[in-house]
């Protein structure tokens, strides 16, 4: 559908009594099909009372809305911790509304001594640990493949906001699995959600038993919000967000590697650099950890007045803290050092800042991050069909007037 056809469709829906806010809800929930359905209703006062079940519980207003996802606007953030109400949402199906009093998580599989069922209360009675960690969708920045490289990657066209950082609290996954008795034959741990489609991702037993891998029941000191996995989710710091499965219903420990669509056709790197024959039965190279990145906490494009400005941004890496951020206002001809702001935590993202004397006109700012392992954001990227893990030095246009 062209932009002109979409505009005409929106006008028709407004003539049928729908407000702009209702139209945004309709489009977010059901896309063009929902707008078409709205236009088929008889016009009149009753049309505007349509109730729309959104894919999320939280208010989508502060976000960039995608069909089942909500993208954070980085310019709204001013600290290391992302507030729950501003934390991005990546759903593979609408957020399930679960009743804590009826909730159980099952520990199953051929590599446990016994099957166990745990209520939320039983999970919360286990010793609790906390970790401040960022989570990022593997497809974050996917929309920039087209604008920055001229190639189109399939999947949701995220900009920069499929990432956030929170304090996660709950028992370690290791302590939960210990209740079922993990056998020496254990190879994989498959975590399965209670959402429609039962989204699941498996991880190796060593990652599952790592002391930073949690079964989180709290986020930033509060019970997990529904959109973020209530009553319980896994949190796997440094690994791509899909590994941190929400709304856990089952944890299956197996003595063989688990293969599913989420490590054979999705969340794998498909392209010339990852020959499928080398990764069978997967279509390409498996994705586990993320990559080093940095981004300015400004709208795109940004608009500033002339004069001196302190600009902020976020940098992060799965290999530990980012220890250096540089910025350039001349297309990378010269680079200057940004300040990394406290606190610097091992699994969190880091805020950075620098002063820029903005002169009238159009400018392009660049930032690049370096982590403790010496990994630096590259200037070029190897294309993969689904657009995962893009982390090039990202141009940011700023208009100064």
| Blockwise average pLDDT, block size 10, the chain, 401 residues | 57 58 54 49 44 82 94 97 98 95 97 98 98 98 96 95 98 98 98 97 98 98 98 98 98 98 97 95 97 98 97 96 97 97 96 98 98 96 97 98 95
In 320-384, the DSSP E strands lie at 322-328, 336-337, 339-340, 350-358, 361-371
> How far is it, in rounded angstroms, from Cα 175 to Cα 111?
16
C-alpha count within 13 angstroms, C-beta hemisphere, residue 290: 34
Domain boundaries, the chain: 3-49, 84-286, 293-400
Q: Class of the 84-286 domain?
A: alpha beta
Residue 299: phi and psi, rounded to 5, are -60, 165
> What is the model's pLDDT at position 23?
59
The reply to whether CATH 3.30.70.1050 applies to domain 293-400 is no
> How far is it, in rounded angstroms, from Cα 33 to Cα 88?
25
Residue 234: phi and psi, rounded to 5, are -85, 150
> How far is it, in rounded angstroms, from Cα 232 to Cα 193?
10
> What is the model's pLDDT at position 320?
84
Q: Beta-carbon neighbour count of residue 81 at 10 Å?
A: 16
> What is the model's pLDDT at position 54?
85
Q: Report yes or no: 143 and 392 within 8 Å, Cβ to Cβ.
A: no
Contacts within 8 Å (CB) and 24+ apart, 44-48:
44/16, 44/17, 45/17, 46/17, 47/16, 47/17, 47/18, 48/17, 48/18, 48/19, 48/22
> What is the model's pLDDT at position 44?
44
C-alpha count within 13 angstroms, C-beta hemisphere, residue 371: 24
pTM here is 0.87
Q: Report yes or no: 355 and 390 within 8 Å, Cβ to Cβ.
A: no
Which tokens belong to 21?
A: 């806010």
> What is the model's pLDDT at position 13?
58
Which tokens belong to 274?
A: 């990852």
Q: Report yes or no: 282 and 329 within 8 Å, Cβ to Cβ.
A: no
> How far is it, in rounded angstroms, from Cα 81 to Cα 167?
7
Q: Beta-carbon neighbour count of residue 76 at 10 Å?
A: 15
């Amino acid at each position: 559908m062209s932009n002109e056809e979409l505009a005409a469709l929106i006008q028709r829906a407004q003539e049928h009594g729908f407000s702009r806010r209702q139209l945004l809800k309709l489009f977010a929930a059901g896309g063009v099909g929902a707008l078409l359905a709205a236009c088929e209703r008889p016009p009149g006062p009753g049309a505007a009372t349509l109730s729309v079940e959104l894919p999320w519980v939280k208010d989508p207003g502060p976000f960039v809305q995608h069909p089942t996802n909500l993208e954070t606007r980085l310019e709204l953030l001013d600290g290391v911790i992302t507030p729950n109400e501003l934390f991005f949402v990546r759903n593979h199906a609408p957020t399930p509304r679960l009743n804590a009093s009826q909730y159980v998580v099952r520990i199953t599989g051929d590599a446990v001594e016994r099957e166990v069922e745990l209520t939320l209360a039983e999970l919360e009675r286990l010793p609790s640990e906390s970790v401040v960690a960022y989570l990022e969708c593997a497809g974050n920045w996917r929309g920039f493949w087209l604008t920055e490289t001229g190639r189109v990657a399939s999947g949701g066209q995220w900009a920069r906001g499929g990432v956030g950082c929170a304090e996660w609290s709950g028992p370690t996954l290791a302590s939960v699995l210990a209740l079922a008795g993990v056998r020496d034959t254990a190879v994989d741990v498959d975590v399965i959600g209670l959402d429609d489609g039962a989204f699941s991702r498996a991880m190796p037993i060593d990652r599952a038993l790592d002391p930073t891998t949690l079964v989180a029941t709290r986020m930033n000191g509060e019970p997990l919000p529904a959109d973020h996995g209530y009553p319980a989710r896994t949190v796997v710091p440094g690994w791509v967000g899909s590994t941190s499965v929400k709304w856990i219903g089952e944890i299956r420990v197996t003595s063989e590697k688990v293969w599913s669509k989420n490590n054979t056709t999705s969340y794998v790197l498909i392209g010339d650099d990852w020959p499928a024959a080398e990764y069978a039965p997967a279509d390409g190279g498996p994705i586990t950890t993320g990559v080093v990145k940095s981004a300015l906490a400004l709208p795109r494009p940004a608009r500033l007045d002339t004069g001196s400005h302190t600009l902020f941004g976020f940098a992060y890496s799965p290999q530990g803290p980012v220890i250096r951020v540089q910025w350039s206002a001349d297309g990378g001809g010269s680079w200057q050092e940004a300040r990394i702001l406290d606190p610097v935590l091992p699994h969190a993202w880091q805020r950075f800042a620098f002063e820029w004397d903005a002169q009238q006109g159009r400018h392009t700012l660049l930032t690049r991050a370096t982590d403790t392992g010496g990994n630096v954001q590259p200037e070029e990227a190897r294309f993969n069909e689904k657009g995962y893990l893009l982390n090039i030095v990202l141009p940011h246009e700023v208009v100064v007037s």
